Structure 1
Amino acid sequence: MNRLPATGPRPRVWAIGISRLRDLFRDIAAEYDDRADLRLVSRGYEQAVAEIAAAGPTRPDVVVAAGSNGAYLKARVDVPVILVAPTGFDVMQALARARRDADSVALVTHGDTPVEMRRFVSAYGLDIVFASYQTAQDAEACVLDLRDRGVRAIVGPGLVTDLAARFGLASVFVYSRPSVRAAFDNALEIVQATWRETQRRQRLDSVIQHLRDGVVALDAAGRVEAINQRLAAVLGVDPSSAAGRPLAELAPDIAVSMPAADGESLETVRGVSYVVHRGPLVDNGETTGAVLTFQESRAVERLDRTLRSRQRAQQFVARYRLDDLIGACPEIVRVRQLARRYAKSDATVLIRGESGTGKEMVAQGIHQESARRDFPFVAINCGAFPETLLESELFGYEEGAFTGARRGGKAGLIEAAHRGTLFLDEIGEMPLPLQSRLLRVLQEREVVRLGATEPTRVDVRVVAATHRALTDAIAAGEFRADLYYRLNILNLAIPPLRERGADILPLAAELLVQAARREPRVAARVRTVDDAARVLDPVGEPLRSHDWPGNVRELQNVIERMAVELADADARQMTPDVLLSIAPELFESPRVSAQRALTLRERRRHADADEIRAALDACDGDRERVCELLGISKTTLWRRLSAADDGAPRSVRRPRDAQRG
């Protein structure tokens, strides 16, 4: 047997017996002093029941009794009752002693005589009379009847043997010390098991009380084993009084609507929609009950929105670096140099360039080179949203700001970019009403959500990009001049692909390597940039001579078509005829320019002049500050501005109002 630790609480055991059983209890009680708080009770039947009921907090954990007294207690008290049961050896010894005292012997038991005893007596050919009783009154009548039938010795429990002695018969007590010890040991094991079960239930109850969802555990009969406070409050019941009661009695509506099998369902309980999950309770591999969890559908929706927002936040990262901007022509080298220089500053950057030239790649590269690299890079296309939606996306909103506003409100992308970089692509497409709100963000570094009265401080670095000539948009009244000057502090122009002839084939080779990684059938042939260059060599001239109005994006599309063609015919080489079949637009006549094409030197002069004019605008015409910012002398500043204005044709010169400073 597993003994309880001596240092822990000791089980309270009451040994209830009268007559000879009481004396036997007293004889062995000392053996259990270190293992139990043992109390001997010399009362029986109604008196014993009353004493247990009156014990209050000192009531026993378990009761040990025997015979009719034990059966009586077992039916009337709510604590475990362990019956002292005579062993076969006890019966054999008692019968042998009785046979020495008399020829006619009776074996009297409480209740029906066990079949084992009858078989035992029959096996040894003993002439024994069997009798039984149910109550104390039955016992007296039974003994008198046996005496009248000529029985001279009776073997039985204490009540029967006392009656036999009173009526002048020989008697032998059937219980022995080993059988009493066995009853005590069983009682202690029952207490241990009960305590373990109580601890398990307390742990289970502690766990479910801390859950945010409603939880109820049921036994196999549908009775409540445990219920947490959250669900009890919904049902309007006391958790302590719910244990042991059928769920169908506590909440008939739940019992009717809950899932009949393990799984989930959407149910309405007391007017509230819940996601109800049913799962099995398993003990030793057998299903002994079920556990039901009730989660408000609104909580599920809120969790889903939270997860979506977290996933969205994880997407606010920059994937490209400036080294990913492929090209060795002087213009691209200049772009990388300026971008690295601008990354060291927190000033706003305006990136100009046609669609598809890689403006966002440069913006991400600036972020990656800056001190804000460990914080969000949030990009939004200002031309991709309707005005109202763009406003809520950028600035966020408070709960109830408009019909359909999310409960609890929502932070805008400006707030999401806190401590990081906000990239405003196609800034020239931003509606005028929002331009004034954005201007305030740039000036005050604070944002006011829709429906809010208090501003929220933000620390963001803004990088904007456009393919439009914003000065023309200002002249047309489509763009605010004050916002333009706030954005155009640092200026960066990305040349179109048609002006980067030497970069077209290296860029195409890199794009083909990237496409091959996505297409295993091409990867075997194109593993490196050198492999890609050999594949593209036969079609180099058509690629170089094309005007590329879609810039790098268009080149990428053509390369993807090549990869598909190479995957379908591994032995087929990329020739001009093959290229003509998949990209006929490359062989169309180039568009005739409406104006004289600028030379490479002229384009560089104008790029320098644009940068100087942007700096002059930002510094309010203070040339000394501009020279200090750009690291040039006043003479160089004047010469570059004059060279750009004098060397350019009239059609490409800036308006006079853009040449201030």
Structure 2
Amino acid sequence: MNRPPEPGSRPRVWAIGITKLRDLFRDIAEEYDARADLRLVSRGYEDAVNEIASAGTNRPDVVVAAGSNGTYLKARVDVPVVLITPTGFDVMHALARARRDASPVALVSYGETPAEVRRFVAAYGIDVVFAAYQSAQDAETCVLDLRDRGVKTIVGPGLVTDLASQAGMESVFLYSRASVRSAFDTALEVAQATWGEAVRRHRLDNVLQHLRDGVVALDAQGRVEAINQRLALVLGIEPAAAVGRPLLELAPDLVEAVPDAEGESLETVRGISYVVHRGPLVDNGVTTGTVLTFQESRAVERLDRTLRSRQRAQQFVARYRLDDLVGACPAIERVRQLVQRYAKSDATVLIRGESGTGKEMVAQSLHHLSARRDFPFVALNCGAFPEALLESELFGYEEGAFTGARRGGKAGLIEAAHRGTLFLDEIGEMPLPLQSRLLRVLQEREVVRLGSTEPTRIDVRIVAATHRALTAAIEAGEFRTDLYYRLNILNIGLPPLRERHGDILPLAAELLCQAARREPRLAARIRSTRDALDVLASVSESLGRHTWPGNVRELQNVIERITVELADSDDAALTEAVLQSIAPELFERPEGASNDAALTLRQRSRRVEADEIRAALEAFNGDRDQACEALGISKTTLWRKLNAAG
């Protein structure tokens, strides 16, 4: 049965019989009204087969029939057929009735006469002629032959007794109400068992239909037992029509593509790449079939990318945004414009600048503004690791790749940055052998772990940074030319703090506010940038006069010292003397350096203007027109101010 039961429904039972058997069915039908949807069919053989075939969705769950008619149906319909079997009491009772009417008596049965019936007759010393038939035509011949042999009464099923009556002989119907009831009870049990199987199959089919992968289950002969809609669509077939048919017939190219051995393989079926898994179907320890699953390789790659992008997501995050880049000088404004513009692209970016100028802050800002913002930002300082350790950290390794390798292997930082941004700080310090491997990653967008031969596809944006002049490193043979041009697609130059005189005090105030938020003892005293500027006002000249070789990082260190000094006392004041005691390097003058303190106000102003002009020229890569436009001056004024500053 193919249909699962509906709530409150009864099994459909068709009782198929003619003449006497039909009448017997009718006599006991009412007894089964509450338990079965019983239909009496007065047809036999081919007519009965056609009746079942044309029933469609109303076809029976089980059929009850007898004799040659039942055997004929059993071989030709795909519905369970329960045969009515006469009991020993039926035979004894029928023979007893026949002996009263006339003698001799013949017992005619379909097929061979059961041995137990012969023993039963012999045990009671009954004089009976045994006969059997194989078909309706054979039954008629058998009856006429018995009549010619002088048999007066025949005991048998409905077909035989009807033929005996037509031949002028006495007949006794073999089946009783008890044997028919027994057949009906068996039919109901078969229907319930079939329903249970249909429920299990329906549930399994629902599971298959909800799978994202294509699935087909085959029997031992390669015939389809179940197939889901996803695979059927790929093959261009109807799932219901495929059941029972050989898969080789439905999709010969598919069978040829799938390996015979169990396990997984990558195959191409009808132009689409699949990861195919072949496994056995086992019943009670015996392999009875095969199950094949087809997963699109693209779906596997998407899942792999998603899983890798979520790994260590909390560890690899970008903390800085473009708003954290403090400063209002033209060079910094130019940097902001470039970050916003380059964030829309996926091209590799090279950030140039002295140590401490904020290269990683710019890289994180790029990531935050890009379409990759929801994925990892992974930073690696290429100068902080020995070559062997840097290689394993960057590319990852397989289990057993080297002594001490972690069990199960480890994904490298390139894989960890999948779908996000990989920031390679101090790229100029990367050893030459690793530069070659990195170049391949940039070209092929795939990475091979140490100890492995299988490449892993990656989707990552590279942002590199350096404080070195890479062109000089190329000339010295310390940096690959091809890698340089792979990295230097988009370019951002960060000005040193000594060229940003106007930004020193605002930067110091912002850093002091951040430090105050971490120090509870300063929270009430420094609540805003204005408060921080008031605290720093007395030392602003000293802060502005220093050349800051360590750039913003050095300024941050000095501010931390100021924070500790101010936190020691609620009324502590920041003076030049205090600053000199905690940061003496700000007051040390390099040998041969000019004495800015001796300069007039006009001279210092000219020097500041010249520094801003040089920063603008650096920001615009030496383009005088753009620098003049940003500063709002003419070219003549630009050269005059530079010359005036010396």
Same fold at TM > 0.5: yes
1:656 positional shift: 7.3
SS at match of 1:260: coil
Give the alignment of 1:487-502 within 5 angstroms: 490=511
Give the alignment of 1:576-655 within 5 angstroms: 632=566, 636-643=574-581, 644-645=583-584
Distance 1:112 1:474 in 2: 111
Distance 1:658 1:250 in 2: 94
| 8 A contact 1:108–1:132 mirrored in 2 | yes
Equivalent position amino acid for 2:205 in 1: D
1:250 positional shift: 0.9
| 8 A contact 2:267–2:276 mirrored in 1 | yes
Equivalent position amino acid for 1:67 in 2: G
Q: Does 1:109 align with 2:136?
A: no
TM-score (norm 2): 0.55
Which residue of structure 2 lines up, in the alignment, with residue 82 of structure 1?
82
Which residue of structure 2 lines up, in the alignment, with residue 140 of structure 1?
140
Which residue of structure 1 lines up, in the alignment, with residue 242 of structure 2?
242
Distance 1:313 1:655 in 2: 51
Greater RCO, 1 or 2 (C-alpha within 8 Å, sep 6+): 2
2:422 to 393, 410, 421: 393
| 8 A contact 2:309–2:376 mirrored in 1 | no
- The runs of 5 or more residues in structure 1 that have no matched partner are 319-342, 350-354, 361-374, 396-400, 415-423, 433-449, 453-469, 493-604
Q: 1:56 to 1:211 in 2, by over 3 A?
A: closer
| 8 A contact 1:107–1:129 mirrored in 2 | yes
SS at match of 1:29: helix
1:139 positional shift: 1.6
1:28 positional shift: 1.0
Q: 1:53 to 1:209 in 2, by over 3 A?
A: closer
| 1:496-538 Cα shifts (integer Å, max 9, x gaps) | xxxxxxxxxxxxxxxxxxxxxxxxxxxxxxxxxxxxxxxxxxx
Give the alignment of 1:304-315 within 5 angstroms: 304-313=304-313, 315=315
1:159 positional shift: 1.4
| 8 A contact 1:6–1:35 mirrored in 2 | no
| 8 A contact 1:113–1:130 mirrored in 2 | yes
| 8 A contact 1:6–1:34 mirrored in 2 | no
1:152 positional shift: 2.4
1:231 positional shift: 1.5
Distance 1:84 1:233 in 2: 45
| 8 A contact 1:74–1:81 mirrored in 2 | yes
Distance 1:208 1:297 in 2: 19
1:31 positional shift: 0.9
1:221 positional shift: 1.9
Distance 2:218 2:190 in 1: 23
| 8 A contact 1:143–1:163 mirrored in 2 | yes
1:259 positional shift: 3.6
Q: Does 1:265 align with 2:265?
A: yes
Q: Does 1:205 align with 2:205?
A: yes
Distance 1:6 1:306 in 2: 42
Distance 1:291 1:403 in 2: 40
| 8 A contact 2:66–2:84 mirrored in 1 | yes
Q: 1:29 to 1:650 in 2, by over 3 A?
A: same
| 8 A contact 2:10–2:37 mirrored in 1 | yes
| 8 A contact 1:382–1:427 mirrored in 2 | no
| 1:527-565 Cα shifts (integer Å, max 9, x gaps) | xxxxxxxxxxxxxxxxxxxxxxxxxxxxxxxxxxxxxxx
Q: Does 1:23 align with 2:52?
A: no
Equivalent position amino acid for 1:212 in 2: R
SS at match of 2:578: helix
Distance 1:124 1:43 in 2: 37
Distance 1:273 1:642 in 2: 71
Distance 2:109 2:501 in 1: 111
| 8 A contact 2:377–2:423 mirrored in 1 | no
Which residue of structure 1 lines up, in the alignment, with residue 288 of structure 2?
288
| 1:393-426 Cα shifts (integer Å, max 9, x gaps) | 249xxxxx98545899846599xxxxxxxxx9x9
Which residue of structure 2 lines up, in the alignment, with residue 39 of structure 1?
39
Equivalent position amino acid for 2:578 in 1: R
Give the alignment of 1:496-511 within 5 angstroms: none
SS at match of 2:179: helix
Distance 1:45 1:196 in 2: 29
1:141 positional shift: 1.6
Equivalent position amino acid for 2:422 in 1: E
Distance 2:596 2:88 in 1: 120
Over the aligned positions, Cα root-mean-square deviation in angstroms equals 5.3
Distance 2:29 2:145 in 1: 36
SS at match of 1:130: strand
Distance 2:17 2:497 in 1: 107
Distance 2:169 2:218 in 1: 56
Distance 2:276 2:597 in 1: 67
Which residue of structure 1 lines up, in the alignment, with residue 631 of structure 2?
none
Q: 1:451 to 1:639 in 2, by over 3 A?
A: closer
1:233 positional shift: 2.3
Distance 1:653 1:92 in 2: 137
1:301 positional shift: 3.2
1:185 positional shift: 1.6
1:21 positional shift: 0.8
Q: 1:482 to 1:37 in 2, by over 3 A?
A: farther
Which residue of structure 1 lines up, in the alignment, with residue 191 of structure 2?
191
Distance 2:468 2:565 in 1: 34
1:292 positional shift: 0.6
Give the alignment of 1:257-406 within 5 angstroms: 257-283=257-283, 286-313=286-313, 315-316=315-316, 379-381=379-381, 383=383, 393-394=422-423, 404-405=444-445
| 8 A contact 1:95–1:155 mirrored in 2 | yes
Distance 1:382 1:482 in 2: 33
| 1:187-223 Cα shifts (integer Å, max 9, x gaps) | 2222222222222222222212221211111122211
1:483 positional shift: 10
Give the alignment of 1:87-236 within 5 angstroms: 87-236=87-236
Matched length: 435
TM-score (norm 1): 0.54
1:246 positional shift: 0.5
Distance 2:596 2:83 in 1: 110
Distance 2:14 2:20 in 1: 16
1:251 positional shift: 1.4
Which has the higher mean CA deviation after the structures are superposed, 287-296 or 74-83?
Answer: 74-83
1:83 positional shift: 1.6
Which residue of structure 2 lines up, in the alignment, with residue 48 of structure 1?
48
| 1:241-271 Cα shifts (integer Å, max 9, x gaps) | 2111101111122223424343223333223
| 8 A contact 1:627–1:637 mirrored in 2 | no
Equivalent position amino acid for 1:636 in 2: L
